[in-house]
Amino acid sequence: MGAMRLLGTITPDRPLIVVAVREEAAHLGERLPVLLTGIGKINATAALATVLAQGPRPAEVVNLGTAGALRPGLAGTTHEISRVLQHDIDTPVLRELTGRTYGDAITLTDGVGPTLATGDLFVSDPQARERLALQADLVDMEGYALATVARRAGVPVRLVKHVSDEADDGAARTWRDSVDACAKILAVWADERL
């Protein structure tokens, strides 16, 4: 079980970097506070909601992490996400049952950028990958939850993902082999932009 861990002190004049696991934070310095949430939407939600409720609030939440590519040609690239959706909630059925919408996409930027699909499923099945590729470019396990919590708390949020794998049957092995290199690239991104 991945327990929440806050490294550093949150202040209102600096961003809070949020990552799922320590491997993704391995090369971040101590200049900015880092929240390790654990893997998945529930861990991400609980960790960020707890930290934001305790205050003080950061200037913004910046989620750095790895993602799987749902389309060819994206492996090894870094992206700021423009739109995020939740792929493992059956929104049309719930809308029919309740008359309300759940899990709709969240637009994060006005600019051009990929769409991220978030769910509590490590995508490695080719059929799941093809289905998700109809609506998104990348897949992760925390982004939608973090965007939702930050938005509800009134804190600006950015999701920045480095593509570690092709979300296929070799994804777990590829992630394990590439996570350290991805963490170095994300640390450089943070140093240059935050």
pLDDT at 125: 78
pLDDT at 89: 78
Question: For the structural domain made of 5-193, what CATH number should be given?
Answer: 3.40.50.1580
pLDDT at 1: 45
Question: What pLDDT digit, counting tens, does each position of 37-57 carry?
Answer: 999 999 999 999 999 999 899
Q: Are 85 and 135 in contact (CB under 8 A)?
A: yes
SS3 158: strand
The H-or-E segment that residue 107 falls in is strand 106-107
**Which residues does the chain have with pLDDT short of 70?**
1-2, 166-174
